[in-house]
Structures are given as C-alpha cells and as structure tokens.
Structure 1
Amino acid sequence: MDGRQKATALIVTGIIILGLNYVALAGFVAGKVEAGVAEQVATGYDEESDYTNDDWNNSTAERVYFAYSITNTENLTENSA
C-alpha cells in the first residue's frame, strides 16, 4: 500500500468509527434523558412549588446591578485594595 491508499483507508475507517459512535451514543443518551425525566415526574418534582422553598430563595430572587452608571472609576480603583 502506498501513502495515498493508507491515508484514504484511515479516513474511511475514522468516518465509519465516528458514525458508529454517533448511532450508538445518540440512542443511549436519549434513553437516559427520558428515564431521568420520567423518574423526576414520578417522584413529584414537576411543579414550580417544588422549587420555591428557602433553599431556592437565592436563585429566584431578583438581582439588580448598576455598574453601567459608575462615573468615578479612579476613586473605586484607589479604594478597592
């Protein structure tokens, strides 16, 4: 086999292996996601009320940032240390 044939064989082999991985992994991952969602729904974690207790308070609280209106950057950098 010369170099060109080896390169072609390697490229074809790589494409075949990637294709097989895609086909095998896509079905596996889709099945795992579906099973995970079904389990969460079966255990009752499917409503907003499940996520509004004190543990989730910080993630749903409104946050306001006013960095766009900073006009004294020199003063901030001098006093930040």
Structure 2
Amino acid sequence: MARTGGTDAVTCGGCALSAVGAITAPAVWLSMDRTDRHLGGGFENEGMDYTVLFTELPFVILAGAFVPLLAFTLLVRWRDRRRG
C-alpha cells in the first residue's frame, strides 16, 4: 500500500512532536525545585544526589517523547473516525 502525502505529513508531525517533548521534558525537570535540591541546591552541598541523573532522567526523557506522541496518535485516530 502506497503512502499518501497526508500520511507522511502526519508521521512527520508525530516525530517532530516527540522530539520537542523529549527536549522540553528534561528542561522542565531541571527547573523544578526538587531537582535543584538533588543536584546541589542544598545548603553546603547538603542533599546532593546525582543518582537522579540515572534513575529519573531517563524516565523523564522517555515520558517526554512518548506522552505527546501517544496524545497525537489518539487525536489523529479520533479525527479519522469522525471523517469516515
């Protein structure tokens, strides 16, 4: 089955949204007070815990990539069902 131009545009839009989410989620995560405390925002290096970079950050990136992609996919499928 050949792809149409609209399908390629939707696929490209989903990939772009996933990339933006994967970049935005860690930026938001780094700006939170909780993360700041773990990464050295405590008094005299109190509470420095760099394990959050290995435990939380991968999940933040994955969630940032997949949650917008999932929402986009559901919206596209809902739109297609309403059309036909």
TM-score of the alignment, normalized to the shorter chain, above 0.5 = no
Instruction: Identify which of structures 1 and 2 has the higher relative contact order when contacts are C-alpha pairs closer than 8 Å and 6+ apart.
Output: 2
Tell me which protein shows more helix as a share of its residues.
2
Greater gyration radius:
1
